[in-house]
Structure 1
Amino acid sequence: MSEGGGQIDFTRYERYLEEGIAFDEPRPGVLRLQLTRSDRWNAIPIRLHDSMPLLFAEIAEDQSVRAFMIAGTGDVFSSGGDVDEGMKPRHAGQLALLQYTAVRIITRLLEIPQPTIAVVNGPAIGFAVSLALHCDFVIASENATFYDSHAAFGAAPGDGYVVIAQAALPPAIAKDVLYGGRTLTAAEAEHWGLVNRVAPREQLEEEAFAQLARVFAMAPLAVRMGKMFANAELRARAEQTLNMGLAAELLTIMSDDFNNAVEGFFRTRKFTRDWKGR
């Protein structure tokens, strides 16, 4: 954990530290969450996933934080939730808690009053797509891609990507990325307005800080109020869509197809295509 410019009190974030993540302050007042398990495609630890609503609420209340940044390391942004930790079948009580947490992750991220920015250095998969695309600004490298892996595992695509895909993409494209197996390239994501800019890998961080500098040049109270109104419709959509979508996702997580797909992936690290429809 680094204190960079020294404005942020990192002691309040110590309880959120897990293996594979790091907090630092690359510019004064910029709190950066880095995903650092590059040997595991920066998979997000399940404990971090479960504590994200509290983390985002903490950031929202921290007056020393001027902006919040999420970034990957190595060649990948993130493969999403840790398959080995988080996709094993759970009992009904755990699934209900998972649904509640998943809704709160997106709504709390949208409620952070400070500017949020995702620096997508490579492929983003599953839950990582939801995190990145619900930030206020997204700067992507030329080799970044966006892929929803739910249906490939036998699960309905019910999390945050549904919200942003329905809000930003034409219906045919949204369906293709959610359950048609389509991967969006960085150029396609920029074309459809899912990312702000695409930059060469070596210029990615520079572009991200330039974006924040433009926002910091604006009146901070005006930015906060403007963000509140700009995100109001998306937050309402998230509350409604996620509760319905995650209920469908949790039903499919209890299916034989999902269990067989997960077990097969544990063994071979490949997606199964032997679906039974039950």
Structure 2
Amino acid sequence: MADSILAETEKVLYDVEDHLAHVTINRPDKLNAMDSETYAALSAAWREFQADEDAWVAIVSGTGDRAFSAGADLEEAVEPGTVEWPEFWRTQEEQILNNGLEIWKPVIAAVDGYCLAGGTTLLLATDIRIAGESAEFGLSEVKRGILPGNGGTQRAARQLPYTAAMEILLTGDHVDAERAAEWGLVNRVVPDDEVMDTAEEFAARILSNGPLAVQAVKELAIRGRNMSLSDAMRLEESFQYHLLQSEDAKEGVTAFAEDREPNYQNQ
């Protein structure tokens, strides 16, 4: 792997098979809470996924069935009895999916158990979200006198109905999977033992499409939110022009004419 931190620690696992990457937070004894080393490894995993031309879709999850992630590991990030926050600030500085790193490949979240604080912030940076029936969500930072960093306040307000965003941000309370689905925080709620299978089914459906087109669609959808409609449509036209020059676009049309499944090469 290009990033040595991934080889040096097992706090984040990364592997790719058949164009599908699995990014796994691997601290089950800590409810997959993230200390500075975990954040660094997670950053390395996302950079690996971003650069790997053979990885077209990612699923992010946590080891075990108790938690996707309980957020930043405050026990290790803050020294009791002091007002020093050096390790906590390191968790805010890493270039990760929800903080500064632009990844236009689709990312699916597979959520078991607790998805709290930085876990929910990470969730908000994914594209498709599958939750188990017993999953719980929350941006609980205000209960500790801090705020949801790494984009938590901004993405919650943009992605959820205003009243829902204010409830989860201001109370810090947990919400169950059913409520999260009602708000649009997750796409599907499934039995706990079907979470990963469902996430992989979504991944397979995306992987059957042209990878360049999928990445272009994601980038346009995200960039266009901060543009006027006319400017966003001009950008869309530009992307379409370049996409039509690709081998994958030619393959897609040819496969349709020949009544067969396309064989995309990400070219």
Report what 1:114 is aligned to. 105
- Alpha-carbon deviation of 1:171? 2.1
CA offsets, 1:174-218, max 9 Å, x none?
111112133221111112211111111111111111101111122
**Letter of the structure 2 residue corresponding to residue 82 of structure 1:** D
CA offsets, 1:90-135, max 9 Å, x none?
7588777655437x642445x2122111100111111011112211
Report what 1:148 is aligned to. 139
Q: In the alignment, is the contact (CA less than 8 A) between 2:35 and 2:91 conserved in 1?
A: no
Residue 9 (structure 2) pairs with residue 22 (structure 1): no
Tell me the secondary structure at the aligned position of residue 208 of structure 1: helix
- Larger helix proportion, structure 1 or 2? 1
Report what 2:61 is aligned to. 71
Choose which of 23, 37, 43 in structure 2 pairs with 1:33.
23
TM-score (normalised: structure 2): 0.73
Cα distance in structure 2, aligned partners of 1:220 and 1:68: 12
Tell me the secondary structure at the aligned position of residue 71 of structure 1: strand
- Alpha-carbon deviation of 1:222? 0.9
C-alpha distance 50-37 of structure 1, shift in aligned 2 (>3 A): closer
**Letter of the structure 1 residue corresponding to residue 52 of structure 2:** D
C-alpha distance 39-101 of structure 1, shift in aligned 2 (>3 A): closer
Residue 207 (structure 2) pairs with residue 216 (structure 1): yes
Tell me the secondary structure at the aligned position of residue 140 of structure 2: coil
CA offsets, 1:217-249, max 9 Å, x none?
22211101001011225689xxxxxxxxxxxxx
**Letter of the structure 2 residue corresponding to residue 62 of structure 1:** D
Cα distance in structure 1, aligned partners of 2:136 and 2:85: 33
C-alpha distance 13-234 of structure 1, shift in aligned 2 (>3 A): farther
**Letter of the structure 1 residue corresponding to residue 11 of structure 2:** G
Structure having greater relative contact order (Cα 8 Å, sep ≥ 6) = 1
**Letter of the structure 2 residue corresponding to residue 166 of structure 1:** A
Q: In the alignment, is the contact (CA less than 8 A) between 2:19 and 2:207 conserved in 1?
A: no
Cα distance in structure 2, aligned partners of 1:55 and 1:21: 8
* TM-align CA RMSD: 2.7
TM-score (normalised: structure 1): 0.71
Larger Rg: 2
Unaligned runs of 5+ in 1: 1-10, 237-278
C-alpha distance 132-98 of structure 1, shift in aligned 2 (>3 A): closer
User: How many residue pairs were aligned?
Assistant: 223
Unaligned runs of 5+ in 2: 228-267
- Alpha-carbon deviation of 1:33? 1.7
Cα distance in structure 1, aligned partners of 2:214 and 2:26: 31
CA offsets, 1:41-64, max 9 Å, x none?
111231231454454233211112
**Letter of the structure 1 residue corresponding to residue 94 of structure 2:** T
Give the 5 Å matches for 1:41-56.
Answer: 41-50=31-40, 52-56=42-46
Report what 1:58 is aligned to. 48
Cα distance in structure 2, aligned partners of 1:96 and 1:181: 21
Give the 5 Å matches for 1:239-278.
Answer: none
Report what 1:84 is aligned to. 75
Give the 5 Å matches for 1:122-137.
Answer: 122-137=113-128
C-alpha distance 90-212 of structure 1, shift in aligned 2 (>3 A): farther
- Alpha-carbon deviation of 1:72? 1.3
